[in-house]
Amino acid sequence: MPEKVQNDAVFDDGGYFEKIASFSRNAKLFLLSHASSQVCLGVGSTILNVYFLKLGFSKSYIGTFMAMKTMAAAISAIPIGVVADRVGRKRSVLWAIFFTILATIGEVTLMNQALLLLASFAQGIGSTFKSVVQNPFLMENSEPHERIHLFSVNQALQTVASVLGSGLAGLMPLIFAFTAERLGWLELVEVTQLRMALAFSIVFLIISAIPMLMVNETNFVPSKRHSVKSDLIAIVKDENLRNLTIYRFMIGAGAGMTIPFFNVFLSDTLNATAGQISYITMGSRVVLTIAVLMSPWLVRVLGRIKSVLVTQLLSIPALLSISFAPSIWITAVLYWFRSALMNMSSPISTSFAMEIVPSDMRATASSTMNMGGSLARSISQMLGGYMMDTMGNASPYYFTSVIYFIATIFYYRAFNKFDKPKAAA
């Protein structure tokens, strides 16, 4: 049976830092591991597309490359959910790290476009293991009164780590170029600087395995009840699972058209350098960290579902404005606001989703939501790259705004019934 959904779990008198101190040992170890791996992903998300542009790849190819990653996530989400229920959360996260290391090595060593697509597919499998497992893991290693704080801290740490990754993405190419010059080596061209930065980021993936190896998963009981077929039937029959999957599909469709291409938009439209892109990405994640940590307060004021409604609707004007902003720094500020508003309710919606499904269906719910979002992203990323090549770099922003609006209204109508009346809270 699903846990009783209630808002008063976040209304007790415990302070923020007291709740953080009360997190279980397993939860703290996972937070450390997740943060370390996010440093590597922060480097890649900041400069990988720019690296491909410098290699001479088209925006359409970049869209296809990213689509392979999300297509892998869509295809593997439900099978990985079944595997995670049988082998455990700890082993699944370690597999995620292994696949991501292999994929990142491929990205910096391979020049063949077809082989790079295989590397992207492998990274999609790795990221799916992590995304499918993390929410059930946090749910199972936390108490109801601390849960919204744990999910908020997890996203905040993820964002802070991404900030560090973005900063390193801007700084490391300069350090490598300066070092080569001082040592009298050949001058490093920009594409070589970017490749070296991507390669160095693998260190953080290796470090992320250490905390997970220390996780004590003695209470895990392997489940063989689930299969791909039974989980697909459960999705069709369960109204909440259906609605969660539809919502994530729409959000994924909108995000795939624009978010992965923002660094391309800055580079190609506003002539931003790798350093400027790094600072802008880093700034957005600082703002997002602050916003995410406000999630418990937001729930206290508005309730869970209205928090999602208000923040996501307010993000749409900022997203539209990016498409015709006159300068790089105005665009940056608009992007910061969009990112903070659209994502500050993510811990709320994620913890809520884990609560409204039965405990033995959490991996299924996590995998189906991941499948919905990834399937949509794999399609919309190819469309986004094609639209930027044929209709202009700003064109995807208009489509994304419409999709976000429809998705937000759908979410509110589907789940508002779960919010307790304000007077009762």
What are the tens digits of pLDDT across the range 17-65? 677 777 888 889 999 999 999 898 888 888 888 888 888 888 788 878 8
Which pLDDT score is estimated for 74? Answer: 77
Which pLDDT score is estimated for 421? Answer: 52
Q: What separation in angstroms does the CA of 17 have from each of 22, 25, 290, 368?
A: 9, 15, 15, 33
Does the structure show a pLDDT above 60 at 7? no
Does the structure show a pLDDT above 80 at 114? yes
Which pLDDT score is estimated for 9? Answer: 43
Read off the pTM.
0.67
Helix axes 89-109, 113-140, angle to 10 degrees: 160
Which pLDDT score is estimated for 251? Answer: 92
Percent of all residues in the chain with a pLDDT value above 90, rounded to a whole number: 16
CA pair distance 107, 123, nearest whole angstrom = 10
Does the structure show a pLDDT above 90 at 8? no
Overall average pLDDT of the 392-412 stretch = 90
Overall average pLDDT of the 70-92 stretch = 81
pLDDT digits (tens, 9 = 90+) for 342-363: 888 888 888 888 888 776 677 7
Helices (H), 183-238: 190-200, 202-213, 228-237
Closest CA relative to residue 415, chosen from 305, 308, 314: 305
pLDDT digits (tens, 9 = 90+) for 265-313: 887 777 777 778 778 877 887 888 888 888 888 888 888 889 899 999 9
Does the structure show a pLDDT above 50 at 315? yes
pLDDT confidence bin for 225, thresholds 50/70/90: low
Overall average pLDDT of the 217-234 stretch = 66
pLDDT digits (tens, 9 = 90+) for 236-278: 777 888 898 899 899 989 888 888 788 778 877 777 777 787 7
Domains observed in the chain: 14-216+225-418 (1.20.1250.20)
SS3 content of the chain, % helix, strand, coil (to 5): 80, 0, 20
| Mean of per-residue pLDDT scores for the chain | 81
Does the structure show a pLDDT above 60 at 14? no
User: Which is more confidently placed, 396 or 181?
Assistant: 396
312, 345 in Cβ contact below 8 A? yes
Which pLDDT score is estimated for 13? Answer: 46
Overall average pLDDT of the 311-335 stretch = 86
Q: How many residues does the chain have?
A: 425
